[in-house]
A and B are shown apart, each in its own frame.
Chain A
């Protein structure tokens, strides 16, 4: 029996930290074939690229924990990028205010998502899918399908710069911003009521309601927080690309959801830890950059990522507890 216990222990340890293992092992495997992958510059690049995904995944956590889903991630990101770029175009001196305004617009979109979902009782996937199309449409109209260039190098520095200003420095600004977001989300989930209420709503909405929790309010706040982080992620992306446009964020909806899934957050709600979303986001970026090194065409990359996500869920899910799959 004792050896059995130990096996179980090791398995549990492995299971609980599979993501951390993956983060160290995956680059090594890729590095065996492509030694350049392990250079400081590239690892640095991975951190930089994961940061945006980490930010969107962190905001998405509350929505998932509620048992809802948000499919308007990339549309919301694109909208934020366009809003910021347009403001910068009209008022070149707006600077950081343009970013703040864009984040507020995104947060408002998230708020609308939550409001429509809860008050009109429309399933969240449908609400957010509809909102995604609306914001994409607005983007396309506003930009007339063109790139909105961002010429202010000073403001772009926020997204492309590194700690200390020098391009050789190791820590990208985006990573610092992601860390700040992580602290805010941690604070909300551990030190404020919101985190517990979100889990309660995801666990059983009816019970949560009976206990006096304002379920609708919890959901609306979650969607609004998510919207804000998508906005931040979208502005950073636009600053990196030096332009806002309707399609620059394509793929982020899938990657954000995948980051949570690969991180091990239950998509059915009620269970989740924020560090898992961060790990998931890093793993996805490691794989993405790896595929670039192997010169996998980008369309094929998306397909491979899809396969990986499904396989991860298939391999890690605890089927003994699942009898109904929806």
Chain B
């Protein structure tokens, strides 16, 4: 069988940077292909070359055996190549059917007028092709993330078919990074439906999902093919090793740097309740402790962290910080009391994208009369110390990779000298190398005596990093496991969660 998409020896240079060094990439019909690699390994450059966003410096792209090159995403789409990004391109204020056919209304005319009926019927048909139970007249804003993602995929396939593309490749960029396990599974079952109509390129940092879903997986490292794995030969460990080049598990989470927590209790939570969110939660966090709260989506852990930081109210119980009861009604009070927070949505909730790296780091120092030179100096110090990769401290934070953005948030938290730091998914959407650096920062925070509450991006992360783990299930605490002397195994751990 011939590949429908065949990229051969693709070369790309950005000035002195050799981003792609002769990369090969093939997609066969009805195949799910994984694409993994650290940030900077060349995944997104490869995809942008494919879509025509970047011009390639060498190599060939063949579609159904014919050489081709695209002028941009729109051109690529008409030839059956499309990409769905994490930042979705749907109009939330409009209906499903309007979104699906926007720009193609002329295909649904009746007597020279747009026929809503025709559009609705066509939309319903497209949705039913992959078994999506969505009212085509529903407003996009009423749908959840997975549903929106699917609608975008269907829209792309529909457009490609309309333009006469014989075969379609849909690339999904980190489709599960914002999803819980349940939603991810829904997405996966829909991907199985989708592959009947199109081939799928699945780009993700979640190696377990890649191993599970993909027929073949390409691993890129430093702009080169580092390996291609058939489904039967692949596992999360194989991929991780291939990506970073052989890192041992224990070393990965820097367990040798783990210290026993101090005696002093920093945070005491007693019988905390919030109706519909969590019930009867009690725990202690000590100086220098990494305390993980672990559980599936909907277990109540997110709501608990929101309450601790004052984003949400609680109904009963008490929160005692450093010996005195607190009731933060708003984040600014929490900050005053010495609580720092790194939310999971770092672009939307933690960083001001239009401000420089330096200003984002130095926000806690901005009070009274501001001395810009001093702020820049402090930020520069933090950038050096945390090895934040940025052209300069004046670069806008939006131009940094996810890992470096997270490090900037960590730098900011370190400047506040908070007694308690709450980290929600600090490694979400971050490549393996940057993950390790973030782990090192968490270790450093603990070493300096900060109490850290962590909600990791995977259970392995929770186990690997923590002194103690509180497990939650169905809004209740199911146990507090000690991970100081011996790390619980994943099997032991999962019992408490599922």
Contact = CB atoms under 8 A, between A and B. Distances in A.
A200 B91 contact: yes
Contacts of B92: 203-204
A270 B93 contact: yes
B203 to A, nearest CB: 19
A211 B92 CA distance: 14
A225 interface: no
Nearest to A199: B94
Contacts of A203: 91-94
Interface in B50-100: 73-74, 89-94, 98
Interface stretch (A136-144, A188-196, A305-313): A188-196
Interface string B92-124: 111000100011011000000110100000000
Interface string B465-483: 0000000000000000000
A196 B98 contact: yes
Interface string B14-28: 000000000000000
A271 B139 CA distance: 11
B93 A271 contact: yes
B155 to A, nearest CB: 9
B94 A210 contact: no
A199 B91 CA distance: 9
A192 B114 contact: yes
B305 to A, nearest CB: 19
Nearest to B114: A191
Contacts of B116: 190
Nearest to A196: B98
B353 to A, nearest CB: 13
B89 A207 contact: yes
B352 to A, nearest CB: 12
Contacts of A213: 102-103
A241 interface: no
Contacts of A212: 74, 103
Interface residues of B, number: 16
A196 B105 contact: yes
B83 to A, nearest CB: 12
Interface in A179-194: 190-193
Contacts of B103: 211-213
A208 interface: yes
15 contacts: A193-B106, A193-B114, A196-B105, A197-B102, A199-B93, A200-B94, A200-B98, A202-B93, A203-B91, A208-B91, A210-B73, A210-B89, A211-B102, A212-B103, A213-B103
A197 B101 CA distance: 11
B431 to A, nearest CB: 27
Residue among A196, A200, A208, A270 facing the most chain B CB atoms (10 A cut-off): A196
Contact of A196 (B73, B90, B102, B113): B102
A210 B94 CA distance: 16
Contacts of A207: 89-91
Contacts of B98: 196, 199-200
A107 B91 CA distance: 29
Given A196-B98, A203-B91, A213-B102, 12 more contacts: A190-B114, A191-B113, A196-B94, A199-B94, A199-B98, A200-B98, A203-B93, A203-B94, A204-B91, A210-B73, A212-B74, A212-B103
A258 B382 CA distance: 51
A186 to B, nearest CB: 12
A266 to B, nearest CB: 9
A12 to B, nearest CB: 14
Contacts of B89: 207, 210-211
A78 B103 CA distance: 37
A213 B106 CA distance: 13
Contacts of A271: 93
A208 B94 CA distance: 12
A207 B93 CA distance: 12
B119 to A, nearest CB: 10
A7 to B, nearest CB: 19
B50 to A, nearest CB: 17
Contacts of A208: 91, 102
A57 B93 CA distance: 21
Interface string B148-191: 00000000000000000000000000000000000000000000
Nearest to A204: B91
A271 B93 CA distance: 7
Interface in A229-280: 270-271
Contacts of A204: 91-92
